[in-house]
Amino acid sequence: MLYRIAADSLVLFHLSFIVFVMLGGLLVLRHPRLMLLHLPAAAWGVAVEIGHLECPLTRWENLLRHAAGQQGYEAGFIEHYLIPLIYPSGLTPGIQLWLGGLVLLVNVSVYGCLARRWWRQRSS
């Protein structure tokens, strides 16, 4: 039971990390110090998608599931609702490239706005 709870908690953390990678730049606009956490997270997210790398969180989730005696995500709220968000069916390398590009575009746009704001403040 403990391994299953740990695996479910890791899925929630994984989803939170994905959301932070995608939209964390918006938090940086409000709280610039978060840039120290967001830039490496966003770089990792882009690298995983574009480079088709395996995220260690995925490996750890699977190890915990196997330790819990599970083979997959067949039951429960987390498995039913959250896993398809993180691991959509039909995810192809082309879609992963598109997702990585989208993450890059969103974050370059946000950091561009932040840089303009800082530039204007320096000029004033």
Lowest-pLDDT range of 5-9, 20-24, 38-42, 70-74: 70-74
pLDDT tens figures, 27-78: 998 898 999 999 999 999 889 888 888 788 888 888 898 898 876 545 444 5
Exposed, middle or buried, 64 (CB in 10 Å: 0-12/13-18/19+)? buried
- Give the range of the structural domain holding residue 94, as residue numbers without chain letter: 2-123
Count of structural domains, the chain: 1
Instruction: Indicate the pTM of the whole model.
Output: 0.72
pLDDT of residue 44: 92
